[in-house]
Structure 1
Amino acid sequence: MPMDPHLLRTFTTVVRLGSFSAAAAELGYTQSAVSQHIAALEHDLGVPLLTRRPVSPTPPGQRLLDHAAPLLLRLDAARADVRRAATPAPARTVVAASPLAAAVAVGEVRGTLHVVPRAEVVAGVATGEYDVGFVDGVVAASDPLHLPDAVGVKAAVVAEKPLMVALPPDHPLTRRKGLRLDDLVDARWIDAPDAAVPLEDLRAAVGATRLHTATVYRGTDTAALRALVNAGHGLAVLPDGDGVPLLWPNVVHRVERLHLG
């Protein structure tokens, strides 16, 4: 039997919110209906997907979660594509950009600009919420950005920049001509996934888990992030501005323009 996307959406919502009751409120179901959806999905797959106290995915549940996001995105994108075929194109352009791609997006704004997290840019373009998207990421110079598989979304490179390590003004490394990330694994870092290069990407680049999170910043304002750096709360890697060039790993900051083909 094919997997029911309604059950899959309920499952991902429960995991995201960490609560059956919160998921029920968001989806417009009763809590009993949410429990029935999860039970039906577990029965279909023959494995427990969630622990109940606290609510979190089991190892099989985590595997399902990894598949669920791209599957649901493709379904939403297909629905939007069909509707779009019968709807006249808008006169004004709605543009979305991740925070570090917003400066590049300014030239295309003819209506509204939304600055949102990276994953929301791709999903929004795929489902027709945004007409154009600009998304950034860190990759080797010859590699494409690692974007979710979304129906009909085309990507084109519009900008590439070297990366800089942002340091407090009085930091002893500020006079260096360049820095290697593996020389900074014991430094204090700011985890700011939407305003800087995500710390998990830096860890993956050096194959290290020792990049220590000293401060967490969940905003999108890069000026606020720089203020945290200057105040000594930790280091960050950014695509431009003041800082010391990152010499290794050999990666670049890329911005890609997304649209529906």
Structure 2
Amino acid sequence: MDLQAVRTFVAVTDAGQFQEAAAALGVTQQAVSKRIAALEKDLGVRLFTRTARGARLTVDGQSFLPHARELLRAEQRAAASVRPGRRALRVDVIGRRLAPAGLLSGFARAHPGTDLDVVTLFDADAALAAVRSGSIDASFRALTLPAGQLPDGIEAARVFDEPVQLLTGPAHPLAADRAVPPARLAGHRIWMPGLVAGTEWAAYYEDLAAAFGFTVEATGPAYGTEPLLDTIAGSPDLATFVGELTRLVWPAEDDLRRLAVRDPMPVYPHSLIWHRDNPHPALTALRDHLDALRPAHPGAATWTPSWAR
């Protein structure tokens, strides 16, 4: 299978548009279209449906996606196992719009001479396996395992607690509030179609809902950030959670509201994971940089799941 075409398929999926994927890959939109067409011909199925807002995965595309990501991870492991010399510091983040990517941007600004290679693995299990094999140098994850249960040689440190916010449309009953206690969310519909059972982020939001008596709905297909924002903007009763540092952009007419959640403030516990025998010289600099970060909201009463304490 043409891994360049597989990589292009994943890039279009993540970007949601052929044009944005082309920019990320450094090729023309025509080249992206040709690669996807060749891959679809090879597989004998349609992977995307074109819409006014971009490219949407078909059912076959959704089925192929996890296998495509695994192919690319296998490619990375194979190359890392034989690549001579020193390479860029390779760090996994859960998503390129989320807080860990911002933390890495701050590190890059503070250390302009350090080369970074940012990747996105699927979940904590994949990240732990990649750190252990040496295909990545570090990963930002919320760890559901106690330190004593980590694989041999793996170390982790909690480096950043990110406040969780509520995102609503203008017609939502809570839209006029500047902040809301998590207990007030009981009876409201929290919709997070991107939650995947068994992942660390699903475990976090399941425990958050259980602690404060509300329900998180994960039903429905996850078409990406923009369709989710459109739905929230037009709904009088749906809301969703976002991290305080999650970068989101929406049309002005959507008039979405980001509300602080506090008393107590739920925070998402980002940890850095690395292998104690990793010799990369920039890894220590990254750990020192993260150690120097100040708490986002010092003195505030916060909540995290019991497994994160």
Q: What is the CA–CA distance in structure 1 between the aligned matches of 2:240 and 2:68, rounded to whole Å?
A: 29
Map 1:175-186 → 2, pairs under 5 A? 185-186=186-187
Shift of 1:26: 3.4
Partner of 1:40: 38
Q: In the alignment, which of 139, 145, 149 is matched to residue 144 of structure 2?
A: 139
Change in 2 beyond 3 A, CA 1:184/1:139: farther
Partner of 2:59: 59
Change in 2 beyond 3 A, CA 1:159/1:15: closer
Partner of 1:259: none
Partner of 1:213: 240
Q: What letter matches 1:234 in structure 2?
A: V
Q: In the alignment, which of 237, 260, 273 is matched to residue 233 of structure 1?
A: 260
Shift of 1:11: 0.9
The answer (yes or no) to whether the contact 1:23–1:34 under 8 Å persists in 2 is: yes
Change in 2 beyond 3 A, CA 1:213/1:4: same
Q: What is the CA–CA distance in structure 2 between the aligned matches of 1:6 and 1:17, rounded to whole Å?
A: 16
Q: What letter matches 1:21 in structure 2?
A: Q
Q: What letter matches 1:202 in structure 2?
A: Y
In the alignment, is residue 26 of structure 1 matched against residue 31 of structure 2?
no
Aligned residues: 204
Q: What is the CA–CA distance in structure 2 between the aligned matches of 1:50 and 1:128, rounded to whole Å?
A: 34
Q: What letter matches 1:203 in structure 2?
A: Y
Change in 2 beyond 3 A, CA 1:59/1:202: same
Q: What is the CA–CA distance in structure 2 between the aligned matches of 1:9 and 1:144, rounded to whole Å?
A: 34
Q: What is the CA–CA distance in structure 2 between the aligned matches of 1:245 and 1:141, rounded to whole Å?
A: 18
Q: What letter matches 2:216 in structure 1?
A: T
C-alpha distance after superposition, 1:113-157 (max 9, x if no partner): 97x797599599699897x42533141549967xxxxxxx98614
Q: What is the CA–CA distance in structure 1 between the aligned matches of 2:62 and 2:135, rounded to whole Å?
A: 28
Percent identity over paired residues: 28
Q: What letter matches 1:135 in structure 2?
A: F
Q: What letter matches 2:142 in structure 1?
A: G
Shift of 1:14: 1.6
SS at match of 1:52: strand
Change in 2 beyond 3 A, CA 1:36/1:77: same
Q: What letter matches 2:73 in structure 1?
A: L
Partner of 1:7: 5
Normalising by structure 1, we get a TM-score of 0.52
Normalising by structure 2, we get a TM-score of 0.46
The answer (yes or no) to whether the contact 2:162–2:267 under 8 Å persists in 1 is: yes
SS at match of 1:55: strand
Q: In the alignment, which of 47, 50, 53 is matched to residue 49 of structure 1?
A: 47
Partner of 2:76: 76
RMSD, aligned α-carbons = 5.4
5+ residue gaps, structure 2: 94-98, 166-178, 193-199, 218-237, 248-257, 270-294
Q: In the alignment, which of 202, 205, 208 is matched to residue 204 of structure 2?
A: 202
Q: What is the CA–CA distance in structure 1 between the aligned matches of 2:268 and 2:187, rounded to whole Å?
A: 19
Change in 2 beyond 3 A, CA 1:127/1:41: farther
The answer (yes or no) to whether the contact 1:125–1:133 under 8 Å persists in 2 is: yes
5+ residue gaps, structure 1: 146-152, 174-180, 192-197, 221-230, 254-261
Q: What is the CA–CA distance in structure 1 between the aligned matches of 2:15 and 2:180, rounded to whole Å?
A: 43
Shift of 1:252: 2.4
SS at match of 1:139: coil
C-alpha distance after superposition, 1:171-217 (max 9, x if no partner): 997xxxxxxx999655799x9xxxxxx86443344584259436663
